[in-house]
Amino acid sequence: MSLLRQDRWQNIDDLILLEGGATYFPAIEKQLELATKSIYLETYIFSADATAKKISDLLCLAAKRGVEVKLIVDWLGSAPLLFESDLIQSGVELCYYNKAWFGRFGFSRTHRKLLVIDGVTAFVGGINICDDRLDAAGKPVGGVRWDLAIQVYGKVVEHVHIAFLRQWQRLQVGALHPANIIKRIFQQELPWSSSHFMGIRHSAKASIAFIARDNLHHRRDIERAYLKAIGQSREEIWLVTPYFMPARLLRKALIRAAQRGVSVNLLLGRDEFAILNWAVPSLYGQFLKAGIKIYEYSGHGQLHAKVMVVDRRWATIGSSNCDHLSFFVNHEANLVIRNHEVVREMRWRVFDQAHEFAHAVDPDTYMNRSVFIKLANWISYRVVRLIVGVLVIGVKDKALINQGD
């Protein structure tokens, strides 16, 4: 049967929630050692630290024993790749995504974090190949970077596998030749489309789906998944993101959910980019007035998880932040999970992080902040919007991006 005709929702064979590098890297290292046929890895950051060196060594060893190893790294996030020569000499096939600030794909980056082993198991989440105790400059983050990923088995792995190969195909020499573009347009596509965005309440059966964002067939798939779940929520929403610059549709959806009595909670990252520390609070007023609770992560490293849990029945986890770059520019990948115990596990872990390592924004304190701070928030937000406008030059869906105001 064609993948195009298959139900995008699959039964769950096995699902493991991995919290942080302490559990994630041992899990992927084990699978890299066991691989016999193929290893497909796509990541935004492949660092130069000891954690990344160990993964690089395992990729090299796998290639030397005859495993097909393909590695996609983002040029902006990973170049220059310190281990490049070792990888290539060992037989690893390496591709950089978009080798310039404004390359053949504009500013678009691959922000996905995917690993597929032998077509049997896959890892999807927000964790890059780097030490989660260090920032991008190699300096300690003051704790650990809190992040989540999922290891999955079953038929959904096939969808992750195909998504990687489609990406690999896009990056090959000649991929932008008109004949090859036309060929890809008519190729069998992945089994997800807007018509398949079933939300929370279509079935009580445990199920899982893989969704990805690109700039061709699936530009708004992840955004639609968020909007559908928020729109169907009845009890509770926990939205976790390190970078929060949502467009108008998502803002309105969250506010409407709160207005109909849903408990809406935002756990947001802080202290990674100074301008975002000033810009993001510009949005708080409309949420606080609607009764939405906002928690700012602080005092325990950095928040890097990208998760939303709705009514303890539905969850999405992956690489997509709630900002313009993730929803409208970058290539992203998420899993959507329904009616499985891992959804409740995610919810409790998010709840614990919010109450142990974050502080709640007090509405009165926020509303009474000084005129100077209000002005600084407003100016910073406008500057970020201007920067985003420059970065998305060449992106077709500018009308969608301009939902932000």
Is residue 214 part of the annotated active site? The answer reads no
What are the residues facing 149 on neighbouring strands? 18, 125
Question: Looking at 159, 218, 304, 324, which residue is catalytic?
Answer: 304
Is residue 132 part of the annotated active site? The answer reads no
**C-alpha separations of 79 from 60, 82, 94, 126, 292 in Å:** 18, 8, 12, 19, 40
pLDDT of residue 387: 87
Is residue 64 part of the annotated active site? The answer reads no
> Higher confidence at residue 181 or residue 22?
22
Question: Looking at 113, 324, 331, 340, which residue is catalytic?
Answer: 113
Q: Is the dihedral of CA 105, 303, 320, 50 positive or negative?
A: positive
Q: At 6, is the pLDDT very low, low, confident or very high (cuts 50, 70, 90)?
A: very low
pLDDT digits (tens, 9 = 90+) for 302-353: 999 999 999 999 999 999 999 988 888 899 999 999 999 999 999 999 999 9
d(CA 278, CA 245): 12
The one-character DSSP state at 6 is S
Q: Tell me the H-state helices in 280-357.
A: 284-289, 324-328, 341-357
Is residue 306 part of the annotated active site? The answer reads yes
Among 38-42, 97-101, 103-107, 166-170, the least confident range? 103-107
Ordered domains of the chain (ranges, CATH)? 3-179 (3.30.870.10), 193-404 (3.30.870.10)
Query: Which contiguous run of DSSP H or E holds residue 358?
Result: strand 358-360
CB atoms within 10 A of CB 68: 15
Query: Which contiguous run of DSSP H or E holds residue 383?
Result: helix 371-391
pLDDT of residue 114: 97
Q: Cβ(57)–Cβ(25) under 8 Å?
A: no
Is the pLDDT assigned to residue 29 strictly greater than 70?
A: yes
Is residue 311 part of the annotated active site? The answer reads yes
Question: Looking at 49, 118, 135, 397, which residue is catalytic?
Answer: 118
Question: Looking at 306, 324, 331, 340, which residue is catalytic?
Answer: 306
d(CA 198, CA 332): 20
pLDDT digits (tens, 9 = 90+) for 43-64: 999 999 999 999 999 999 999 9
On the question of a cis peptide bond just before residue 281, with omega within 30 degrees of 0, the verdict is no
Token code pair at residue 177: 């030749």
d(CA 98, CA 76): 8
pLDDT of residue 200: 63
pLDDT digits (tens, 9 = 90+) for 377-398: 999 999 998 888 777 655 544 4
Distance of CA 312 to the CA centre of its chain: 20
Q: At 10, is the pLDDT very low, low, confident or very high (cuts 50, 70, 90)?
A: low
Question: Looking at 70, 74, 111, 331, which residue is catalytic?
Answer: 111
pLDDT of residue 194: 42
Is residue 113 part of the annotated active site? The answer reads yes
**C-alpha separations of 366 from 16, 99, 158, 243, 257 in Å:** 39, 42, 47, 20, 22
d(CA 384, CA 280): 9
Token code pair at residue 353: 């992080």
